[in-house]
Chain A
């Protein structure tokens, strides 16, 4: 029992040192939706879903996971899905929802902003604007699933 307590203490200390989160302090969700999990592992059962900028109370830390209490009960959230400070811009919610619902294809198909084209044209930088358009297309080939697969394969994020 003592050994388990010691391991728990060591993990908590490790989490505290990696981030600024502390037991007893509040934290905030930063995604459009954040799942509260039954156990500190990515495939654990979800016991609640919190909206953007929801406040939770951190009651403990284990590795890079926070045990949190919410109005729906206690559970676990990966520290990378929490912010220490409340997300400031409430107007981000609409934008976030739009981004979350946007398909990769629609993102990839989006051209540069008209202002950017105009700006580049006026300053003789159309070649640089073409480069930026190329970069956006290349970058957007990596959709959420590809990034998640990469995180899993390289044991990063909540898959550590």
Chain B
């Protein structure tokens, strides 16, 4: 009992320090959850924080890439294929949404929390749903494997108590907004300027290929599309600029597909 009280006191202090609104907090649940914190189950960014940061990251991407293509038919097609894949992905706690950016460049992004954005240039180049599924499954895999959000996972501002706060509610104070803005800025810069670590891109290629194949799309959909792009790539034109070189991706995908 002493241990529980001590943990409760510790949590209250931690939550207060983190600036979360405790108004709707269920004390019983909190003490139970606190035990999980103590045992290390709650680490990193929780689903609510991930969604909140993801929304801001999505806004950054949409702003930089010319806004969204507000075409209902295109958006419906991309969402049907995307949601078919997301229906079987490893993170059923997220709501995935898929949109098309009004940019002629060829690129794709996934924000934490489940918003996947592809450019109109990419959408116009895909020849069939298998290729589209290959691209979307790659982006879904980045989210399920928490590639982008892990950039701030180890940030002390979001660790431990942030996981508990996911059960409490949305951020409310100025301190929260500043904290979330900092996180969103960090993730946006990585996604749009630097790109993720190449090992994470290759991991998403592999996991995406597996997801697409399991759902019933061609296992080589992504590889087909990358090969198509490769034919048009020149020294001046680079597709998927925030991703590893096409030839390296194709080489690894070829081995993966051949293994199947």
Contact = CB atoms under 8 A, between A and B. Distances in A.
Interface stretch (B5-13, B176-184, B227-235, B245-253): B176-184
Nearest to A119: B56
B58 interface: yes
A99 B87 CA distance: 13
B166 interface: yes
A147 B59 contact: no
A139 B98 contact: yes
A17 B210 CA distance: 9
Contacts of A80: 87-88, 214-215
A96 B167 CA distance: 11
Given A116-B52, A156-B84, A157-B87, A18 B219 contact: yes
A79 B90 CA distance: 11
B80 A95 contact: no
Given A30-B90, A32-B92, A116-B55, A18 B166 contact: no
A154 to B, nearest CB: 7
Interface centre among B56, B83, B91, B99 (most CB of A within 10 A): B56
B68 interface: yes
A51 to B, nearest CB: 13
A94 to B, nearest CB: 6
A127 to B, nearest CB: 7
Contacts of B217: 156
A96, A107, A115, A128: most-surrounded residue (chain B CB, <10 A):
A115
Contact of B41 (A32, A90, A151): A90
Contact of A31 (B56, B92, B97): B92
Interface string B34-49: 0010000110001110
Contacts of B90: 30, 83, 85, 87
Interface stretch (B70-78, B120-128, B191-199): B70-78
Nearest to A32: B92
Interface residues of B, number: 58
Interface residues of A, number: 56
Contact of A156 (B46, B55, B216, B219): B216
A43 interface: no
A12 to B, nearest CB: 14
Interface in B194-239: 210, 213-217, 219
A156 B81 CA distance: 10
A142 B80 contact: yes
Contact of A147 (B41, B42, B62, B87): B87
B79 interface: yes
Contacts of A95: 46-48, 93, 166-167
Contacts of A116: 52, 55-56, 59
B169 to A, nearest CB: 11
B181 A99 contact: no
Interface in A40-99: 64, 79-81, 83, 85, 87, 89-92, 94-96, 99
Q: Which 6 A-B pairs have the closest CB atoms?
A: A80-B88, A139-B97, A128-B63, A131-B68, A116-B55, A128-B62
17 contacts: A17-B259, A19-B210, A20-B210, A32-B92, A91-B33, A91-B167, A99-B92, A113-B55, A115-B170, A120-B59, A125-B63, A128-B60, A128-B63, A131-B67, A132-B55, A139-B79, A139-B83
